[in-house]
Structure 1
Amino acid sequence: MTTVLSSIKLRGVSDIVSYINDRPGIRGRAGIIWWLALGGLFLDAFSNSALSAGLGPMTRDLSLSTGEIAIITSVASWVSIVFNPIGGWMADRWGRRVPIITAKALAIIGALLAAFAPTFGVIVLGRLFVGAAYGMDFAIAIALLGEMTPKKFSSRINRWQGIWYTAVSMNLVLAIGLYNMNVGDSIWRYAVGAAGLVALALFILQWRYMVESPTWLARKGRLDDAAHAMSVIYHESFVPAVVAEREIVRNLANRGVRNVALIFRGIYLPRTILATTIQLAQAIQYFAVGWYLPIISLSLFGDDFVKASAGSLFFNLFGIVGGFSSALIARRLGLRIPSAIGFTIVAAILVSLGLFFDTLPLWLAVALPSIFILCHSAGPGANGKSVSTLSFRSEIRATANGFIGALGGIGAAIGLTVFPLMKASYGLPTTFLILAIVPTVAAIICFSIKWEPTKSLVPVDEELDAPNFKDDTDHLMTGAIK
């Protein structure tokens, strides 16, 4: 006896979103795609931190000045500022799959150039490619995660933060291992080369398993392609409804880069302010403090490379705990309140380090950076990207992520550039005090804006009559800001 499976008819975006939201988990091909998107974020963190543990050896190896260190460490972030919106625009115009795979190719080129660079200039060129890959990938991967995640599991997007710290920790373990292999001051070359191998593996896997986002396809009016993608991902038979039964896609954002203007009007303005604040502030505080933990460890544990790297690894373990815990915290408290609380604690820690750094007992000098990383990763470090991707409808999601991510990239570049210069001019304690201003202001804004994307009345992709911003009454269709 032959069993005939009935086909599932798709009328438009709402049917796709409803099906995804009704899933009991993220399994099968959907799970593979989900984790491959997170794998791209692992690569971004691994590539970004590849120079962190080896910064001291690289400085000696190439006899770098303070200004050259600032350029090498920050150039990828400056480039990502440009490529965040470019990647978002590409993903909203041509889809998620091709740009996300292209980012891996750029990462491979950047890693090869830097690993075998004979001069300072070639390293900078390699980091330009890494920055382009990082900027493109982050905007697209987070958007894809938002579209592949059932509403009830939306807090799981925050797992990217745990993945980030896992990548950073693996870099530190690699650095310690390479040090014990007596490779000398070339440690940083091996770390950068390892990032290239990760990029190559992801390139192959994403090329093989990635499928275009069905939600994006449907929002673009490509329902036949969306049905095919759903069939591949979920191993069920999906068919497009006849033309007369299909939902009409209204107010489609099809103005390319000019779609950025939409996120500054109507219901999207406070969401944009909130997401931008969290991304910008968390980037400054992380890349000014967290990225330089190996250097801070040297101040705490002395000039021994292994001890300093082990100390930095210890700090980052708190990031892994906080990053993976952020999903549970977000599920219970949302994204906004944990961000506000995290910023508040980080500000208090920076003030404490600034006032008492030289007189703190060692246990407390170790405890404070640990709590800093824990509260950062459990709150604002994870939530900025999630707030961004969950606050906008499908065909402008990657564009919004790209633009807001570019502002976050500015924060990262500021942190990476300013920290070594301020440390050299004012010393660590004063630098901590100045940096405390950033999370203080961010906490105030987070407490003031009430939008909470995990508790919105209507899932973003069900906004079939999404606002075209001709007036301010669009909250009647999409759920009021709460």
Structure 2
Amino acid sequence: MQPNAIKIRGIDDVIAYLDSRQGIVGRAAVIWWLALGGLFLDAFSNSALSAGLGPMTRNLSLTAGQVALMTSMASWVAIAFNPIGGWMADRWGRIRPLVLAKLLAVIGAVLVVFAPSFEMILVGRFFVGAAYGIDFAIAMAVLAEFTPAKLKSRLNTWQGMWYAAVCTNLLLALLFYSWEVGDSIWRYSVAATAVFGVTILVLQLALLVESPIWLARKERLDDAARAMSRIYGQPFAAAPRNERLPVLNQARRGAANVLLIFRGVYLQRTILAATVQIGQSIQYFAVGWYLPLISATLFGKDFAQATIGALAFNVFGIFGGFLSPWIGRKLGLRRASAFGFAMVFVMLLTLGLFHGHMPLWLAVTVPSLFILFHSGGPGANGKSLSSLSFRSELRAGANGIIGALGSIGAALGLLVFPLFREKYGLEHTFLILSVVPLVASVICFVIRWDPTRTTINPDNEADAPQFKDDLHPTVESLRPAVGKMN
């Protein structure tokens, strides 16, 4: 061991060093932003068909049922692959599944671009859904494990990246429209996804480093020390074996591990994170994803005008998304979600009651505020809450389960909007959907847990007594003082 190396005795020393950092800089920043880059790709893949949905519907003569199935396909698949991704990350680490997700996203994009039939598009969207399900469960865990405790709310930055991806898609759609490619414009948007996917794949292969927190929770201290040396640019070394401290409350592998999130101290955290995740998924994918079609009802059927209108709406998402870390820091993630849901309810109620009778300026303002309140509040918080509420060997699995529930919400939103719109009309659809944020807001006000308003770090948290039968025997007196470094 080098004389000046920082000695790592266990998980608490890794966490203490991370939390002592004043910011996310150097190689850690590269890893952090590359994880966000993967989420950018997920958003780009999910919104690639959104901008060209109208032309695509005409190009392939799709029925409302086919549109509903195609747009929701990726979300249905993600329901299964969210927990699969979490299981992979908890068993094999964070990096390999992240890279696999990018490969699947590229395969899916290529299949859709060259699809000769509707059925082949569904196959391509299957791969996109698998990539989305795997990536989101793991990337959010990576962000949490590279973020100092005082910067927890910064995880919400992913929401700004989501809307940046959506707006990039819309801008590219306008570029492709200027090429006069006709109703096949949707193929160009999806082709851009493949280009982004290959870029992110190469960068992640070259630059990502395994999470030291995950390695330390797995009692792989030598690997954790090597990873920290690469990430932070100073020497770290694992303590001699007789000085190492056991990992407290190490959960067993398998289903029993995942089921812990539904017990004891974790139950209310799971309910809160799942409520926010499901609620925001339904309201976004039932309304926000279809903004180009909603925009067309306001600005006419001209593709360029409708796309510019949708772009104007989504710019508010960029503003709200990148503002959400500040909102989360001021209000806490729970209260930010509660107030955000309440305001989204008001916006949907307004659209449902007055959409057909509002002046144009108000018809533009209300959807814009919908996106602003969504992105600044609950839009980011479901994934952030689940990433910050569980210890490392539960984190990716919890993200997978809660992400799967969110994917159910997304699939329902994508499925019901075109069907409800055709059957009940646009205004009544808004009124029906307004129930979702209302119920979610009430639940967020009732549950009190907030990871940004507690001194508890789940990675060195002692579980409630009712967990004792599920955990390996530990001795609390062996716990080292956090921050005691050699």
Q: TM-score range by the shorter chain?
A: over 0.9
Gaps of 5+ in 2: 471-475, 480-486
Q: Equivalent residue of 2:264, what SS?
A: coil
Whether 1:165 aligns to 2:163 is: yes
| Structure 1 partner of 2:21 | 23
| Structure 2 partner of 1:363 | 361
Match of 1:388 among 386, 389, 396: 386
Match of 1:441 among 439, 443, 446: 439
What's the offset of the Cα at 1:470?
3.4
Q: Which letter maps to 2:320?
A: G
- Is residue 251–residue 466 contact of structure 1 (8 Å, CA) maintained in 2? no
Q: Equivalent residue of 2:7, what SS?
A: strand
CA deviation vs aligned residue, 1:273-313 (integer Å, no higher than 9, x gap): 00000000000000000000000001111101101000000
Whether 1:60 aligns to 2:75 is: no
Q: Distance in 2 between matches of 1:393 and 1:416?
A: 32
Gaps of 5+ in 1: none
Q: Equivalent residue of 1:236, what SS?
A: coil
| Structure 2 partner of 1:352 | 350
| Structure 1 partner of 2:483 | none
CA deviation vs aligned residue, 1:66-85 (integer Å, no higher than 9, x gap): 11111110000000010000
| Structure 2 partner of 1:115 | 113
What's the offset of the Cα at 1:468?
6.8
Q: Distance in 2 between matches of 1:260 and 1:464?
A: 17
| Structure 2 partner of 1:270 | 268
| Structure 2 partner of 1:256 | 254
Q: Which letter maps to 1:314?
A: A
Match of 2:81 among 77, 83, 93: 83
Q: Distance in 2 between matches of 1:35 and 1:86?
A: 24
| Structure 1 partner of 2:482 | none
What's the offset of the Cα at 1:258?
3.2
Q: Distance in 1 between matches of 2:220 and 2:327?
A: 37
What's the offset of the Cα at 1:25?
1.0
Superposition pairs for residues 257-406 of structure 1, below 5 Å?
257-406=255-404
Q: Which letter maps to 2:419?
A: L
Q: Distance in 1 between matches of 2:191 and 2:399?
A: 29
CA deviation vs aligned residue, 1:432-465 (integer Å, no higher than 9, x gap): 0000000000000000000010122221212266
- Is residue 265–residue 463 contact of structure 2 (8 Å, CA) maintained in 1? no
Determine what percentage of the aligned residue pairs are the same residue.
Answer: 63
Q: Equivalent residue of 2:21, what SS?
A: coil
Q: After alignment, is 455-464 or 195-204 more displaced?
A: 455-464
Q: Equivalent residue of 1:224, what SS?
A: helix
CA deviation vs aligned residue, 1:184-228 (integer Å, no higher than 9, x gap): 111110111110111100110000001110000010111111011
Q: Distance in 1 between matches of 2:4 and 2:176?
A: 57
CA deviation vs aligned residue, 1:25-57 (integer Å, no higher than 9, x gap): 111110000000000000000000000000011
What's the offset of the Cα at 1:245?
1.1
What's the offset of the Cα at 1:265?
0.5
Question: TM-score by structure 1 length?
Answer: 0.96
What's the offset of the Cα at 1:249?
1.2
Q: Which letter maps to 1:226?
A: A
CA deviation vs aligned residue, 1:329-375 (integer Å, no higher than 9, x gap): 11111100010000001101111111111101111110000000000
Whether 1:211 aligns to 2:209 is: yes
Q: Distance in 2 between matches of 1:197 and 1:123?
A: 18
Whether 1:148 aligns to 2:146 is: yes
- Is residue 250–residue 465 contact of structure 1 (8 Å, CA) maintained in 2? no
Give structure 1 regions of 4+ aligned residues with deviation exceeding 4 angstroms.
464-468
| Structure 2 partner of 1:240 | 238
What's the offset of the Cα at 1:408?
0.2
Change (3 A) 1:34 1:262: same
Q: Distance in 1 between matches of 2:255 and 2:293?
A: 40
- Is residue 273–residue 402 contact of structure 2 (8 Å, CA) maintained in 1? yes
Match of 1:184 among 179, 182, 186: 182
RMSD: 1.5
- Is residue 264–residue 464 contact of structure 2 (8 Å, CA) maintained in 1? no
Q: Distance in 1 between matches of 2:406 and 2:252?
A: 25
Q: Which letter maps to 2:226?
A: H
CA deviation vs aligned residue, 1:379-410 (integer Å, no higher than 9, x gap): 00011111110000011100000000000000
Aligned length: 471
Q: Distance in 2 between matches of 1:251 and 1:393?
A: 10
Q: Distance in 2 between matches of 1:120 and 1:438?
A: 31
Q: Equivalent residue of 2:50, what SS?
A: coil
Q: Equivalent residue of 1:9, what SS?
A: strand
What's the offset of the Cα at 1:471?
7.9
Q: Distance in 2 between matches of 1:143 and 1:332?
A: 23
Q: Which letter maps to 1:29?
A: R
Q: After alignment, is 445-454 or 463-472 more displaced?
A: 463-472
Q: Equivalent residue of 1:24, what SS?
A: coil
What's the offset of the Cα at 1:117?
0.4
What's the offset of the Cα at 1:98?
0.3
Change (3 A) 1:466 1:104: farther
Superposition pairs for residues 20-59 of structure 1, below 5 Å?
20-59=18-57
Q: After alignment, is 454-463 or 307-316 more displaced?
A: 454-463
What's the offset of the Cα at 1:318?
0.2
Q: Distance in 1 between matches of 2:255 and 2:33?
A: 29
- Is residue 251–residue 468 contact of structure 1 (8 Å, CA) maintained in 2? no
Q: Which letter maps to 1:113?
A: L
Q: Distance in 2 between matches of 1:413 and 1:247?
A: 45
